[in-house]
Amino acid sequence: MLVLNNVTKRFGGLIAVNDVSFDLGDVGISGLIGPNGSGKTTLFHLISGFYTLDSGTISFMEKRISGLPPHAISQMGLSRTFQQTRVLPFLSTLDNLISAAPNQAGENILALFFRAKKVRQEEAFNREKAMDILDRLKLSDLAHLPAGDLSYGQQKLLELGRVLMADPRLIILDEPTAGINPTLIRDLVTTLKALRDRGIKIFLVEHNMPLVAELCERIHVMDSGSLIFSGSPQEVQGNKRVIEAYLGR
């Protein structure tokens, strides 16, 4: 699915990601943890094409993606969310999802004239798909409210919904539960497990350790830019190097 080979990223003299290699394999939900400043966000930016690598390669479904721009990576089926939500506050919740659908024929002015029927069919399809996603995220009742009226946690769920409109094979989530209330966290957990059961792979950065242990089959641990350990939640919890990294030695 996702393979990193000797990935390195420097900011001036600082090595934010240092020769990191791993393979997500066929794992349903994988986690990335590590103390603050260990390079997790930088690694996610590298995978999703927002930063360019200094050296190394990244492949997704056996195709090289390092060097490609974010939209090309997303079109290949690898989508991500951000720590800060990017919903469009003045559009309705429903229209936020519809506008996230890729390759809309209606965006092409000629298609509007010559393929009006196809455009209408596509719009109906995207609308139905968006309603279905809202239903699964338990946001249907809010479909017609401006997205800016939703709570912060609901906006984070909506952002996940926008990602789902692109039918991703792998979703990268950057701190999905940060700042959201416990009830919504449980909704999010249910949604993530359901997505996993439908075959969508998930890779998340998360500080909520009990949640990481509950959700992730495999956890990758970073410290000072390096990958220091990969294993099951039990193995990670008992690993001396991981404990030292968190205690600051």
For position 52 contacting ligand ADP by CB under 6 A, the verdict is: no
For position 11 contacting ligand ADP by CB under 6 A, the verdict is: yes
Considering the complex, what minimum distance in angstroms separates the CB of residue 174 from ligand ADP?
Answer: 8
For position 209 contacting ligand ADP by CB under 6 A, the verdict is: no
Asked whether 195 and 229 are in contact (CB, 8 A), the reply is: no
- The residue (of 41 and 66) whose beta carbon lies closer to ligand ADP is 41
Phi, psi dihedral angles at 178 (to 5 degrees): -60, 125
Residues 18-37 that bind ligand ADP (CB under 6 A): 34, 36-37
How many other C-beta atoms can be found within 10 angstroms of the C-beta atom of residue 197? 9
Quick one: CA dihedral 9, 11, 12, 14, positive or negative?
negative
β-pairing, 170-174 with 78-80?
Answer: parallel
Q: Name which of 12, 208, 204, 168 is nearest 75 in CA terms.
A: 168
Q: Mark residues 95-134: x for contact with ligand ADP by CB under 6 A, - for none.
A: ----------------------------------------
For position 10 contacting ligand ADP by CB under 6 A, the verdict is: no
Binds ligand ADP (CB under 6 A): choice among 6, 10, 14, 55: 14
β-pairing, 226-231 with 55-60?
Answer: unpaired
For position 41 contacting ligand ADP by CB under 6 A, the verdict is: yes
d(Cα 236, Cα 170) in Å, to the nearest integer?
23
- The residue (of 37 and 231) whose beta carbon lies closer to ligand ADP is 37
Binds ligand ADP (CB under 6 A): choice among 42, 85, 154, 177: 42
Considering the complex, what minimum distance in angstroms separates the CB of residue 95 from ligand ADP?
Answer: 32
Rounded (5°) CA angle 144-187-36: 110
Give the binding site for ligand ADP (CB under 6 A). 11, 14, 16, 34, 36-42
